[in-house]
Structure 1
Amino acid sequence: MSTLTVDAYQWFLAGRPGASFLQFPSWAEVKDQWHAERIGWHLTSGELAGAALVLYRKFPGTRKYFAYLPEGPVADWADPDIDRWLRPLTSHLRKAGAFGVRIGPSPAYRRWDADRLKGAFGPGRKVGDVLASEVDPLGTAVADRLRTRGWKRCGGDEGDGDAQPRLVLRVPLAGRGPGDLWAGLNQEWRRNVRKAAKAGVETVLGGPADLPEFYRLLRITEERDGFRLGRSLAYYEKQYAALNAEQPGRMRLYLARHHGEVLAAHTMIVSGRRVWYQTGASADHRREVRPSNALQWRMMRDAHELGADEYDMRGVPSTLDPDDRPFGLLRWKLGTGGQVVETLGEWETPVDGTANHALYRALQAYLARR
């Protein structure tokens, strides 16, 4: 296990087009309350076999750190002998002063087709109550391997303790043409995209100067939909600058204008053969012209033109109950014809040592109170 330079780390990630943007060096610049390290492990031949961006955060009143690998490490999860890199990883983190570690394995666990979930809407129902369209054998094997080594899945079955969403909506793009993507939208989505076009909604790429308008709409959206991300305008300005300094066009800001007024603004992140819709914001008025549908259709087509294998719309709620407030977000994203994917979620373990185990338990108690 060794520390990697930015160039060596980026060279490794360039050969892994499925790696998450949360594992790119630029993400460390965004997370200013953490300090970061890039590490890698090598085969006996000297070949770099895996790498990770590790974020460290000091536990109050101590000299110890909690280590977090968001949607990482970038490793061969299909390798049945994960100990040959998992043990060196935890050993390295212990020497770095970590008392516990959280990772986000990349394999998927289960997938549900949109039509299967739509037929299961009802009071009290959840996604997990529905028989999955597909169970990923690799995800199942990785989960078993981690459990037998003492790792625990954060937040139980619901994933309430995960920092990153466990349930996401992904639209497959590989092997599909624009006509296939259009046909994949449900009738309501196609109707709303046409309605936006007929009303004169214009979708354009914005720039850093448009971030204050995006943020203004985001605050409106948070108030309307009853959530709070707790991030400042400066956070998004730093994110936009850091990601695009690493690779021009990595983070994009899309705007939907109607009669000159910005009614919706969404951010998109491009990395290898994956594209993510990250954050969406919209105004309270003129919603009937469907600016968000227009934006998503534009972003999906742009992701396709960039050669992405999938368009990841990020988190969706687990509820299938139409009376639950979060249900609307799931229904809206399902209209794209994508799949709900349950990732393996995040996994934690204390790093060896009695004192470290005590700190780890203290952290869990603190998080439970929050």
Structure 2
Amino acid sequence: MSYRLKAITREDHLAFVATLPSVSHLQLPSWGDVKQDWRAESLGWFDADDRLVGAGLVLLRPLPKLRRYLAYLPEGPVIDWTAPDLDAWLRPLLAHLKARGAFTVRMGPPVVVRRWSADAVKAAIADPETRRLGDVAPTAEDPRALDIADRLRRAGWRRSASGGEDGFAAGQPRHVFQVPLAGRSLEQIHQGLNQQWRRNIKKAEKAGVKVVQGDYEDLPAFHRLYLETAERDRFVPRPLSYFQRMWTALRAEDENRMRLYLAHHEGEVLAAATMLTVGEHVWYSYGASTSRRREVQPNNAIQWRMMCDAHELGAAVYDFRGITDTLEEDDHLLGLLRFKAGSGGEAVEYLGEWDHPLNKVLHQAFRLYLSRR
């Protein structure tokens, strides 16, 4: 089987996505509108009968002073990753992007490798001899993912050593935490929470914490808490304009694509979070909270409300997004893993991001640039 690849319209891209249970929100045309520092293009794969059978959003970022680009497909493309001839899908992608001036192509296959239950994660955290989640026997493993990794290596792809998403250091989390919702009642999902989560949700209710959906006008309130969170947790925050752009672009595509939730207590917003939805997949995207009045448990309250709303929307999974795979006690992200594990879901490892150099000199220069950032 051979495939023809070409640029497609936003409408054709969205129509293809609508035929699937879900794809990553990073593979939607609207995400290209969010990432204004990148040039976005929707690509489509067509079979011998000229049917659109695959799609991808590619983001192109120029090298300074050169007409050469890093081509990035975050959590994509959306193709048949289990196809016997995977290279038949990827060869036309490389050819197209090389002609567009790309020096490196980076992609993130949406392929799950391993899963660990909440109990397995809890035991791993409690074991002082365990340093990384990857050292723990998984609850489930897909051998097809390892075969896909082997085929990528044989085709010249190499696992990326990428950092965050800012600038050239494009990257998405390899490990995430997800709560399965499909086939479960809200009561069953609530029972799956650990005792501390259930206690904290009850505390929030008794204290009078009210979680409501916000609007565009509430984004500044979210952002004030977000800046406080960034200072406390030692990360570089995004400007308010970024979230305003997200809201406008994503909701123009679907009014449920992005929601904002705020936890109020005695006239003050104590926590806020954004929720993204594509088909049957819901993501907790960004969270923010103040250090004040933590005893009323606004974070558990807001997460439980979002999980309930995701269930009402018919979601199959509630995705907490990234977690650390480092289980060292001095890792400041370990507390976040403990919090997410309390939801009773599972840790999920994806195949990670992969690079294919199209210009080896520029690719090495790019890697050197990243290492010095």
Identify whether the pair has TM-score above 0.5, normalized to the shorter chain.
Answer: yes
Picking from 143, 154, 158, the partner of 2:149 is 143
Give, in whole Å, the separation in 1 of the partners of 2:131 and 2:138. 14
Q: Contact between 1:257 and 1:263, CA under 8 Å: does it hold in 2? A: yes
Q: Which residue of 2 aligns with 1:99?
A: 103
Secondary structure of the 2:124 match is coil
Q: Contact between 2:87 and 2:155, CA under 8 Å: does it hold in 1? A: no
Picking from 145, 153, 159, the partner of 2:159 is 153
Picking from 254, 269, 281, the partner of 1:262 is 269
Give, in whole Å, the separation in 2 of the partners of 1:245 and 1:49. 25
Give, in whole Å, the separation in 1 of the partners of 2:57 and 2:139. 33
In the alignment, is residue 202 of structure 1 matched against residue 210 of structure 2?
yes
Q: Which residue of 2 aligns with 1:361?
A: 364
Q: How does 1:257-296 map to 2 (within 5 A)?
A: 257-296=264-303
Q: Which amino acid aligns with 1:130?
A: V
Picking from 214, 239, 242, the partner of 2:246 is 239
User: Structure 1 residues 346, 162: CA separation in 2 closer, same or farther (over 3 Å shift)?
Assistant: farther
Give, in whole Å, the separation in 2 of the partners of 1:138 and 1:300. 31
Give, in whole Å, the separation in 2 of the partners of 1:138 and 1:193. 39
1:162, distance to aligned residue in structure 2 (A) = 6.2
Secondary structure of the 1:37 match is strand
Q: Which residue of 2 aligns with 1:192?
A: 200
Q: Contact between 1:162 and 1:346, CA under 8 Å: does it hold in 2? A: no
Q: Which amino acid aligns with 2:188?
A: D
1:319, distance to aligned residue in structure 2 (A) = 2.2
Task: Give unmatched runs, 5+ long, in structure 1.
Answer: none
Give, in whole Å, the separation in 1 of the partners of 2:111 and 2:355. 16
Give, in whole Å, the separation in 2 of the partners of 1:172 and 1:40. 30
Picking from 124, 144, 147, the partner of 1:120 is 124
Q: Displaced runs of 4+ in structure 1, greater than 3 A?
A: none
1:96, distance to aligned residue in structure 2 (A) = 0.9
User: Structure 1 residues 162, 145: CA separation in 2 closer, same or farther (over 3 Å shift)?
Assistant: farther
Give, in whole Å, the separation in 2 of the partners of 1:201 and 1:322. 31
Q: Which residue of 2 aligns with 1:109?
A: 113
> Could you report, residue by residue, the CA deviation over 1:130-185 in whole angstroms, capped at 9, with x for unpaired residues?
111111122222111111111111129xxxx7611111000001110001100110
In the alignment, is residue 219 of structure 1 matched against residue 227 of structure 2?
yes
Give, in whole Å, the separation in 2 of the partners of 1:279 and 1:342. 20
Give, in whole Å, the separation in 1 of the partners of 2:157 and 2:221. 43
Secondary structure of the 1:264 match is strand
Task: Give unmatched runs, 5+ long, in structure 2.
Answer: 163-168
Q: Which amino acid aligns with 2:202?
A: R
1:324, distance to aligned residue in structure 2 (A) = 2.7
1:323, distance to aligned residue in structure 2 (A) = 3.7
1:296, distance to aligned residue in structure 2 (A) = 0.2
Q: Which residue of 2 aligns with 1:340?
A: 347
Q: Percent identity of the aligned residues?
A: 53
Give, in whole Å, the separation in 2 of the partners of 1:120 and 1:24. 36
Q: Which amino acid aligns with 2:372?
A: R
Count of paired positions? 361
1:361, distance to aligned residue in structure 2 (A) = 0.9
1:314, distance to aligned residue in structure 2 (A) = 0.2
> Could you report, residue by residue, the CA deviation over 1:186-227 in whole angstroms, capped at 9, with x for unpaired residues?
000000000000000001000000000100000111111222
Q: Which residue of 1 aligns with 2:319?
A: 312
Q: Which amino acid aligns with 2:296?
A: V
